[in-house]
Homo-oligomer: A and B are copies of this chain.
Amino acid sequence: MNLKGLKSGERTVLDHVFWANGISRDALASASAFSKTRANAAVAELLEQGLLEETGEQVPTGGRRAETLRLSRHLGVLIGVAVGATGLEVGVLSPDLTVLAHHSEPANVGDGPGPVLSRIRALMRELLAGCSVAPRQVIAIGIGVPGPVDFDSGQLVSPPLMPQWDGYSIRDDIAQDFNAPVFVDNDVNLMALGELWRRQRSLQNFLVVKVGTGVGCGIVCHGQVYRGANGSAGDVGHICVVPDGPRCHCGNLGCVETMAAGPAIARMATDAAEAGQSPMLARLLAERGGLRLQDVAQASRAGDMAANQVVQRSGALVGQMLASVVNFFNPSHVFIGGGIMRVGPLFLAAVRQSVYHRSLALSTRHLDIQYTPLGDRAGLIGAGVLAMQESLRNMEAV
């Protein structure tokens, strides 16, 4: 890996190749607004240095070369980390974001940053060893966390789900084992960044909404992730949906997070089981000692009426929150991710119905609401995109 001392044109070429995830020479010249001569010279230099590689077939007639240019695996690897409220995932990715190795396991962010990050460092070392990659070959590390992040310092700021992490330097912690640059962002921002990359930046204005233990939103505006004046943009979990609803941990009444996220779904399902409304939920409750989001999802997919009602109630409330957001932001797409994806189409249908009912016709005329196509991998891919994007951005061009 040798990302220093590149010419500015070469950096631009690497950036376009990364975001296009493979591109022909002609398309590259057109995308970079360079002359073909200039683009080809930069490509030749980058191939020579081993930073780019070519794939695809030679045209035997001697016509123009149709190979696809990709970032070279010789650049090194990226490490992506997705920290959730109840689990963590670590992955080793190639520069084109192929997942080379990954591992996920339950975790409790409430244990504080020390033990959680220590475990993450151990997993990083194990996964690298499993891929026969040395730590010095790590280009950069991207980490997503479920709370508001001050992007420049890479620190969480007053995170409600993980108060012990407030102001803790995740970078310094990781630096105990790794010399690579570390970039930290909110988990949903990274899901949005991952989707921006997957679509090769063709979508300019869209949202990613994560529904799991909490409710959060990643915003892409003018083709860039938007973090807001204080890094708390997209903090939609505390938008009020029922003015006289139950009190949320934030102190207000009827926040969508406290009414419709994973714990609320589990609570509503438990109530239904205890009220004798669903033998299936009652059985799951007895077997497991408590219901989780995935249990309700399982019951709903199996057609349990009470579980379906709970899912529809949650979807309607998330949709009510989204209706306000869609009126304000007029996105082209809303991608929904997080644990709620296990529920399947019923939740999505309830969200759509609620949004289309409450939003203005003009805002929803072309609005596309779907589960995030990156699925469970959205957080990990997004962390990899962050690591590569920031490495390319921070290269010293000469």
Contacts and interface: CB of A to CB of B under 8 A. Distances in A.
A358 B361 CA distance: 28
Q: Is the interface of A mostly helix, strand, loop or mixed?
A: loop
Given A157-B362, A221-B221, A327 B229 contact: no
Interface in A226-266: 226-236, 238-240, 242-243, 250, 252
A366 interface: yes
A331 interface: yes
Contact of A240 (B332, B358, B366, B367): B358
Given A148-B362, A221-B222, A235-B363, A329 B240 contact: no
A365 interface: yes
Contacts of A357: 252
Interface residues of A, number: 48
Nearest to A223: B222
A323 interface: yes
Contacts of A219: 328-329
Nearest to A229: B332
B205 A228 contact: yes
Nearest to A224: B222
A41 interface: no
Contact of A328 (B252, B328, B359): B328
Contact of A324 (B229, B233, B239, B367): B239
Contacts of A175: none
Given A222-B224, A229-B330, A328-B325, A361 B236 contact: no
A35 interface: no
A360 interface: yes
Contacts of A365: 230
A228 B221 CA distance: 8
Contact of A229 (B158, B242, B331): B331
B236 A328 contact: yes
A190 to B, nearest CB: 17
Interface string A348-375: 0000000001111111011100000000
Interface of A: 148, 157-158, 205, 217, 219, 221-222, 224, 226-236, 238-240, 242-243, 250, 252, 320-321, 323-325, 327-332, 357-363, 365-367
15 contacts: A205-B228, A219-B329, A228-B331, A228-B363, A230-B362, A230-B363, A230-B365, A232-B360, A232-B362, A233-B329, A235-B330, A236-B324, A243-B243, A325-B328, A328-B329
The 8 closest A-B pairs by CB, nearest first: A228-B330, A229-B332, A233-B330, A232-B362, A239-B324, A221-B221, A232-B330, A324-B324
